[in-house]
A and B are shown apart, each in its own frame.
Chain A
Amino acid sequence: MYGAIYISLCVLGFATFYPFWNSAVISFNNGMDTALGGVTFWPRDFTLDNYHIVFKDKRIVDGFIISILRTIAGTFLSIMSTAIFAYGMSKKELMHKKFYMVVCIITMYFSGGLIPYFLLIRELGMMDTFWVMVIPGMISVWNMIIFRTFFQGLPDGLEESAKMDGCNNWGVLFRIALPLSGPVIATLSLFTAVYHWNDWFAPSIFINNPELLPIQTKLQQILNSNIMSEQLSQMNSAANAAMSRMKSNITTKSLSMATMMVATIPIVLVYPFVQKYFVKGVLIGSLKE
């Protein structure tokens, strides 16, 4: 019985990890050699060339920088604004508290849908801007509720003694409440950062200027054109396939994999160190039901 469990878990672990490993291996393999086929567990013709090319490609570098800027700005603005919002909502004396709360909760169950949202962004003139990736999603009701619960749990005495020393509400927020909420901020920031780093869809419909596209969207465009080329080549004969590959200037598999690695390496590198925050975060969220 235990044997079966251990074996299944090993298979799962392997199946989960292999695609990632294989992609990494291909990215370190010479592109021409990869085209010959058969690269699986280890690079056959190790090279860093693919990465050289990727890091020299202005489009990729631009995408990487945009992703970094977006993640930093988006996470900071979102967490800060949501925390301030939540602190206000945690104050017992806040008038219309219930009404505000209802306004928030409704948005967790209903939404206007993609098309009205798209048209709104258009109307607001936010198409093709950097801020369209950052501003609309700034307030997260879910995070607000988590922050709020945390703030409500802080002892009243802290606030009272701060106010006796002459602090106003904003002072208490920035000098007492926020510093104490380090772990909550860390956890929610991580989730928000991952979301921003991985979001490819919103930029793909709202932004046309290639200089503003984050790396995930650029990667999607590269992989998409690869897939189309591959299908075209399958529909024709082998000779046509070779011709169409040369004509369409396809990114070799190794190059695509290297771009993919670059797009996901930040997450993978940071992940082992912050894994426990992620796990805690899931549990914080669930216990608030």
Chain B
Amino acid sequence: MARNTPIASERKPANGGAEKSYFKRLAGQWDIQLMVVPALLLIIVFQYIPMYGVLLGFQDYSLFKGFLDSPWVGLKHFEAFFNDPDFNRVIRNTIVISFLKFFIGFPAPIILALMLNEVSKLAFKRVIQTVSYLPHFMSWVIVAGMVSSMLSTDNGSINMLLQQLNLIDEPISFLSLPEYFWSILVVTDVWKSIGFGSIIYLAAIAGVNPQMYEAAAIDGASKFKMTYLITIPSIMPVIIIFMILAIGNLLSAGFEDILLLANAGIREVSDVIDVYVYRIGIENQRFSYATAIGLFKAIISVALLTIANFAARKSGNSLW
């Protein structure tokens, strides 16, 4: 019986060279495969195995029994979470903090970039840039240490300033009071990230065709109009990409910063999903429950990211 289509090993290779079987070819490039395979193994061990670990959320995992022998409980932990009295405040805090950080923290670097762009004295610009990038490179421990030093009742600078201006009589214990926490968190976050975040926007702004500005100037446009009608639309692709990522991260309202700045007294306002998972899972060792919560968050985040990307695709700028 004649074959019409050649089998793989009989097909003429595209390079017109000697015919080689799959295994021969693979063996032939063992040296570059060797460059790649160990790294992939590391990725599989440290990134993919934990991905399978999310299955713990469907078990009653016990350290003693291990993964294979722990009983399967289906959606029990998810139901427990939704009915947990903590659920409302954790979700509320996560969304509120996330929104606050987004509406204040997202435009801030853009505005800084726009302002820096208007500065003509190069030396001044460089100084401000250098100073503003610095907080990004400090660890959150350092930043939290500085924040609690500035806000302390024991002659912290902020309390001293407010007392000097006669706005308050007694020092305020900012970090112990729930009503200040969200503000402290957002201000600190902006402080730490505004400088470094402005780098990309500054680069994008620098890439705008100067002729557009010249044409607008001839037409008599004011600086405001130029910013509004030329600069911002020109950097819109960059803004949209970052906005998609920000929406995908909506449920990640912070972690290290909250862990360090919050304390047991203000959990009512400081508990967000990631912090809650940490405390329940690592400190209280309720592994399965915490994993289930984490998985819930991951699923919602992927959904948000996909929706945001889909919506952005319509405007022509998207991640994929």
Contacts and interface: CB of A to CB of B under 8 A. Distances in A.
A79 interface: no
A271 B134 contact: yes
A246 interface: no
Interface residues of A, number: 98
Interface in A249-267: 253, 256-257, 260, 263-264, 267
Interface string A100-131: 10011001011111111111100000000000
Given A115-B291, A201-B259, 4 more contacts: A111-B47, A169-B31, A216-B141, A263-B141
Contacts of B287: 115, 119
Interface of A: 1-2, 5-6, 8-10, 12-13, 15-20, 22-23, 26, 34-40, 81-82, 84-85, 87-89, 91, 93-95, 100, 103-104, 107, 109-120, 135-139, 141, 144, 168-170, 173, 194, 197-201, 205, 216-217, 219-220, 223, 226-228, 230-231, 234, 253, 256-257, 260, 263-264, 267-268, 271-272, 275, 278-279, 282-283, 286, 289
**4 nearest A-B pairs in the assembled complex, by CB-CB distance:** A116-B53, A112-B50, A88-B35, A37-B155
A85 B35 contact: yes
20 contacts: A5-B115, A19-B146, A20-B134, A37-B155, A85-B36, A85-B40, A93-B32, A94-B36, A103-B40, A103-B44, A107-B43, A110-B298, A113-B54, A135-B42, A219-B142, A227-B148, A231-B265, A267-B137, A275-B133, A289-B319
Contact of B200 (A103, A234, A286): A286
A275 B61 CA distance: 47
B157 A22 contact: yes
Contacts of B139: 197-200, 216, 263-264
B276 to A, nearest CB: 11
A207 to B, nearest CB: 13
A23 B291 contact: no
Contact of A113 (B116, B131, B263, B295): B295
A100 B36 contact: yes
Interface of B: 25-26, 29, 31-36, 38-40, 42-54, 56, 61, 112, 115-116, 118-119, 124, 127-128, 130-135, 137-142, 144-150, 152-155, 157, 160, 173, 175-176, 191, 194-196, 199-200, 203, 223, 238, 241, 256, 259-260, 263, 265, 274, 277-278, 281-282, 287, 290-291, 294-295, 298, 302, 305, 319
A280 B199 CA distance: 9
Contact of A5 (B36, B119, B131, B175): B119
Given A39-B155, A173-B35, A234-B153, A9 B40 contact: no
B53 A117 contact: yes
Interface centre among B38, B43, B116 (most CB of A within 10 A): B43
